[in-house]
Amino acid sequence: MNENSLAETLFNPSYASSCLMPKHQISQSMQRMLYKMIPAGLDRSGWLLLAILALFLAIISAVAYPLNWVENRVDLEIAATGQTNPQSRGAQVWIPVFGSHSASADAKELIDGAHYDSSWGAESSVLRHLVGPAKLQWSGRVGPGFVIEFVRHPWSGIVDVSVNGRVRRLDLYSEQNASLRLTLQDFAGVQTERVQPDLVARNLAIIAGLTMLYMTLGLVLVRWMCHRSVTHPSILRRMSALLAQSVQRTFYKMIPAGLDRTSWHRLAILALFLAVISAVAYPLNWMENRVNLEIAATGQANPQSRGVQVWITVFGAHSTRFDSRELIDGAHFDSSWGTENSVLRHLDGAAKLQWTGDVGPGFVIEFVRHSWSGIVDVSVNGRVRRLDLYSEQKGALRLTLQDFSGVQAERVWLPLAARNLAIIAGLTMLYMALGSVLVGSMRRRFVARPPLSRRMYALLALPSVIAYGISHLAFWPAQMTSDSDGTWQEATTGGFRDLMSAFHSGLAWISVQLWNSPASLIVIQYLLLTALLMLVIRELDISGVPRWAIYALAVFFPVCPANFVMATTYLKDPFYTIGIILIVVAFVRLLRADDVRLPRDVSILLAMGLLVTGLARHNGMLVAPALAGMAVAFFWRRPQVRGLASIALGSTVVLLFIKLVMYPALGISGIPERYRAIVPMHVLGAYAAAGAQFNEKDAAVMLSVLPLENWRSAYYCPSVVPLFWHKQINWAALSKNASEVMDITWRQIQHDPQIAIDHELCVTSMLWRIQFKNQPLVTAPLSIYSDEFVQRLKIDRFPLIPSLHDRTKALALKTMEYPWSMAFWNSAIYLYLTLFMVGCLAVARRDRRWWLLATPSVFNTLSLAPLIGAPDFRYQYAVVVIPLLLLPLMLAPAPSPATPGPCEGDTA
């Protein structure tokens, strides 16, 4: 489409009227994008036929592979009883067919994956047992085609088949050769197959990727047939040239209306980047190895041990886990094994445990070592290691595949690689389609309208006041942790420290002068959040966002679980988030107005936001100067750069002056010396748990802080709390040797960086991982942390309204359960959503400066990576809030070369 035709389309009256109807606009954008993908030589009917053919072949491929959409967890046990029918001439059991997801031609899957002794044998991929009693066990996921088939003949015996504890006794005797086939429906009470959301998402991504592949191949083939020349002297050379030209022209023909090639390239790069990030952050597994694991508690012990116990605290088939839940759910073991808080334990006597499955490069199993531990045999694919778990001090012993000589290491599986590439291709197409629709919907004329009235702003603020008020009454006077206790003591006594945040304690002190209750600060907190929401709504309204989207934001934002809960927490993080919101509002106003000079209101908002962000939380001292610097960088060659540079320099100087000069002058103490070593201590715990060796000098320093065995046993990857607040820790020694602890940690990292990398990936998983099932996450206290604190607060009745408290808390806890937690509490998803939305805004408006809106989320996450010590949601509260506020901006009209208007921006 040339510029004239584009201008005619944009100024067409019917098109202009559709600007007020986003749904119609989106539909038109999708239609134009689809027809723009039609290559030369194909009419619309031919193009639609090719698209339908590609989708049909993709679905056929998915069915024929086949992809599994429904699964069920099954523990199968087949017991040859050794008993027979009186007429039978034997007690044989023959299994010729077994299929976990579909009918198979043999029992190879059962032979490879089951646990059985030598009395069972395999013959031509048929599993058979000839005489006496014996058991066979198999565990895994099954689909709707699950089937197991037994042979019936004159030598057959009686067999017990158990599926998830439901037993069927089968007499296999038959005078004539026959077969007996079982499915899940033959076991009453066993849960039928159910749709798994992750399987559905994976399969849809694969189908989308296959559709794109077939479409691309079809386009190339059609173009070649349209351009081939039988008179060409070299058909191979002609085919090669046409192939390259066809791919290039096909790519450019996919550019939707209103997008130039540069914008299309950027959107494609953004889509591929987010697809790869999604694959890494999920994460997808590229390497696997088949493992038959057997753990045998021998019932023997070291002579010094007081027992024969075996405790398994950690098991992960693909990556480091935080418990043994995966082993508990997937292994075969008898009643002598027990579970306690997702830990598997065996206390007395001899017993075996068996597990079979595919493992990845992060496979790990960890045993507890203490004075009651016994001797255990661990077998991986027939390679056995005998471990004496006895230790006078409590510790841990961790095993990986590398600890079993001769076991094949993890390898890249071509089916896994093909599946993952198909998923990445499908995600790329999905992001491209969504981005094209969003960009196309924003490419419309700006329609002037009267602004919202003050009365309307009051009505829009009402949902926030009501929602936050309900949350406040439910958790009256506030949700408080031990950190809140420290802030309250400083606010009431006046002895300020900058351990948590002296700024937050100062605000609490001011609120206490108005009303001697934690509720006073909470009221100020959520009134500020409400006022900031009105500021955002004002910017959205001026930008041309449809009114229905503004109304939806006013209602949804305060009831979103993260805001509803966090708004009434007596913590510094809501005020840090208020500072970030001020910065985002300033950025939006700066980008929208694009004045020659820096507007005064932008200067005020930005300066306030930088100061609040820098003072409210310690990582704010990193985030605030970085955001100010990025604003200067994005506007480097613009007239506003002088004003932005002044604000950046001034805010940084003021923050440093307050922290380094004013606080000491006022007697406000800084962070205690021991806290300098909190992160190095956590990393050093990872090396101790991994069995790293320390020289005498380093060991002596560590021993002065904490017994060496406790460095190993107290290490918990997701959180530093068990290690740093260990009951035997020597605070004085840690304060004295903080520098030495950091030096020891640095030397260990230089010697073996892989342990530090694994630790960092684990402890920061909250920041970047999408799939967060069964991983720890600290959200909000939903109460006051101790009864003793309630008494000191002199609260007569707590909770204030018990029924409201219980119902609200139950609803909040429900949102924290998987899979709801993925939608409401997984900050990584909101981070990637922000990148996608801001990328689309930058493409639609042809202005890379709009990437400035993503910098608060990015720099907050980056600043936490080296500092985070626990998976606490409040650290990333601001990252969750930003995309919620910016989402309606995706419906605002974007500037276009043919449509000058009030919102026209730079097109460079």
Per-residue pLDDT of 160-184, as tens digits, reads: 998 887 888 899 998 888 888 888 7
Q: According to the model, what pLDDT value does residue 19 have?
A: 39
Q: According to the model, what pLDDT value does residue 290 have?
A: 75
Q: How many angstroms separate the CA atoms of 597 and 581, rounded?
A: 23
Q: How many angstroms separate the CA atoms of 812 and 806, rounded?
A: 10
Beta bridge partners of 359: 289
Stronger pLDDT, 142 or 699, i.e. the higher one: 699
Interacting residues of 282 by C-beta distance below 8 A, sequence separation 6+:
769, 770, 771
Instruction: Give the β-pairing of 166-171 and 383-388.
Output: unpaired
Res 241 pLDDT > 70: no
As a whole number, mean pLDDT of residues 846-874 equals 93
Res 654 pLDDT > 80: yes
**Residue 587 corresponds to which amino acid?**
F
Q: According to the model, what pLDDT value does residue 377 have?
A: 93
Q: How many angstroms separate the CA atoms of 258 and 705, rounded?
A: 65
Q: According to the model, what pLDDT value does residue 878 have?
A: 96
Res 16 pLDDT > 60: no
Res 261 pLDDT > 80: no
Element (H, E) at 384: strand 383-388
Confidence band for 10, pLDDT divided at 50, 70 and 90: very low
As a whole number, mean pLDDT of residues 555-560 equals 95
As a whole number, mean pLDDT of residues 441-451 equals 80
As a whole number, mean pLDDT of residues 384-408 equals 81
Res 35 pLDDT > 80: no
Give how far the C-alpha of residue 165 lies from the chain's centroid of Cα atoms, to the nearest Å: 34
Q: Give tens-digit pLDDT for 712-771.
A: 878 888 889 889 988 899 999 999 999 999 999 999 999 888 888 888 988 898 899 886
Q: How many angstroms separate the CA atoms of 546 and 892, rounded?
A: 7
Q: How many angstroms separate the CA atoms of 431 and 433, rounded?
A: 5
Q: Say if residues 889 and 545 touch (Cβ distance below 8 Å).
A: yes
What is residue 127's three-state secondary structure?
strand
Q: Give tens-digit pLDDT for 566-586.
A: 999 999 999 999 999 999 999
**3-state SS track over 166-195:** EEEEEECECCCCEEEEECHHHCCCCCCCEE
Q: How many angstroms separate the CA atoms of 800 and 522, rounded?
A: 15
Stronger pLDDT, 312 or 186, i.e. the higher one: 312
Res 341 pLDDT > 80: no
What is residue 385's three-state secondary structure?
strand
Tokens, residue 659:
């922290």
* Max CA separation in the chain (angstroms): 101
Task: DSSP letter for 409, please.
Answer: P
Give how far the C-alpha of residue 363 lies from the chain's centroid of Cα atoms, to the nearest Å: 20
> In whole angstroms, how far apart are CA 428 and each of 118, 161, 254, 274?
50, 46, 14, 8
What is residue 642's three-state secondary structure?
helix
Residue given tokens 């985030």 in the structure block: 623
Q: Say if residues 10 and 879 touch (Cβ distance below 8 Å).
A: no
Q: According to the model, what pLDDT value does residue 192 have?
A: 55
Confidence band for 229, pLDDT divided at 50, 70 and 90: very low
Q: Nearest 10 degrees: CA dihedral of 393, 339, 353, 366?
A: -40
Q: How many angstroms separate the CA atoms of 202 and 198, rounded?
A: 6
Q: Say if residues 383 and 404 touch (Cβ distance below 8 Å).
A: yes
Res 223 pLDDT > 80: no
Spell 557-568 as b/e; 16+ CB within 10 A means b.
bbebbbbbbbbb
Per DSSP, helices labelled H in 193-234 are 197-227
Q: According to the model, what pLDDT value does residue 299 have?
A: 92
Residue 203: closest CA among 422, 431, 429, 433: 422
Interacting residues of 184 by C-beta distance below 8 A, sequence separation 6+:
72, 74, 142, 146, 163, 190, 192, 193
Q: What is the secondary structure of 892-903 as a DSSP string?
A: SPPPBTTB--TT
Tokens, residue 9:
């389309």
**Residue 231 corresponds to which amino acid?**
T
| Burial (CB count within 10 angstroms: exposed 0-12, middle 13-18, buried 19+), residue 892 | buried
**Residue 156 corresponds to which amino acid?**
S
**Residue 851 corresponds to which amino acid?**
W
Instruction: Give the β-pairing of 120-123 and 126-129.
Output: antiparallel
Tokens, residue 12:
């067409």
Q: Say if residues 148 and 161 touch (Cβ distance below 8 Å).
A: yes
Q: How many angstroms separate the CA atoms of 60 and 68, rounded?
A: 13
Tokens, residue 376:
């255990």
Q: Give tens-digit pLDDT for 772-800.
A: 665 667 778 888 888 888 888 877 667 88
Residue 482: closest CA among 742, 781, 161, 775: 781
In total, the chain counts a number of residues equal to: 908
Res 339 pLDDT > 70: yes
Instruction: Give the β-pairing of 332-333 and 351-359.
Output: antiparallel
What is residue 351's three-state secondary structure?
strand
Res 41 pLDDT > 60: no
Backbone angles phi, psi at 258, to 5 degrees: 90, -5
Extract long-range pairs of 411-419: CB within 8 Å, 24+ residues apart: 411/287, 411/288, 411/289, 412/286, 412/287, 413/286, 413/287, 413/288, 416/285, 416/286, 416/287, 416/288, 417/286, 419/202, 419/206
Residue 352: closest CA among 293, 411, 279: 293
Q: According to the model, what pLDDT value does residue 901 have?
A: 37
Work out the end-to-end distance of the chain between its first and last CA atoms, rounded to an integer number of angstroms.
Answer: 21
Q: Say if residues 16 and 445 touch (Cβ distance below 8 Å).
A: yes
Instruction: Give the β-pairing of 178-182 and 147-152.
Output: antiparallel
Beta bridge partners of 295: 353, 378
Interacting residues of 544 by C-beta distance below 8 A, sequence separation 6+:
446, 447, 449, 892, 893, 903
As a whole number, mean pLDDT of residues 544-550 equals 93
Stronger pLDDT, 816 or 394, i.e. the higher one: 816
Q: According to the model, what pLDDT value does residue 866 have?
A: 92
Residue given tokens 């199993």 in the structure block: 365
Global pTM reads 0.73
Res 634 pLDDT > 50: yes
Beta bridge partners of 180: 150
**Residue 365 corresponds to which amino acid?**
I
Q: How many angstroms separate the CA atoms of 675 and 686, rounded?
A: 18
Element (H, E) at 739: helix 738-751
Tokens, residue 273:
């980047």
> In whole angstroms, how far apart are CA 694 and each of 330, 367, 702, 708, 730?
37, 22, 9, 10, 20
As a whole number, mean pLDDT of residues 194-217 equals 77
Q: According to the model, what pLDDT value does residue 240 have?
A: 53
The CA radius of gyration of the chain, in Å to the nearest whole number, is 32
Q: How many angstroms separate the CA atoms of 634 and 908, rounded?
A: 12
Res 550 pLDDT > 90: yes
Stronger pLDDT, 73 or 36, i.e. the higher one: 73
Q: How many angstroms separate the CA atoms of 163 and 277, rounded?
A: 39
Q: How many angstroms separate the CA atoms of 199 and 282, rounded?
A: 13
In whole numbers, what is the pLDDT of the chain averaged over residues?
Answer: 82
Q: Give tens-digit pLDDT for 91-129.
A: 899 998 888 766 566 788 888 778 887 788 887 778 888
- Helix, strand, coil % in the chain, rounded to nearest 5: 55, 15, 30
Confidence band for 316, pLDDT divided at 50, 70 and 90: confident
Q: How much of the chain exceeds pLDDT 70, in percent? A: 83
Give how far the C-alpha of residue 132 lies from the chain's centroid of Cα atoms, to the nearest Å: 51
Other Cβ atoms closer than 10 A to 119: 14
Q: Give tens-digit pLDDT for 811-855.
A: 999 988 877 888 899 999 999 999 999 999 998 888 889 999 999
Q: How many angstroms separate the CA atoms of 606 and 590, rounded?
A: 10
Stronger pLDDT, 12 or 444, i.e. the higher one: 444
Task: DSSP letter for 230, please.
Answer: T
Residue 746: closest CA among 675, 681, 699, 696: 681
Tokens, residue 101:
């997801």
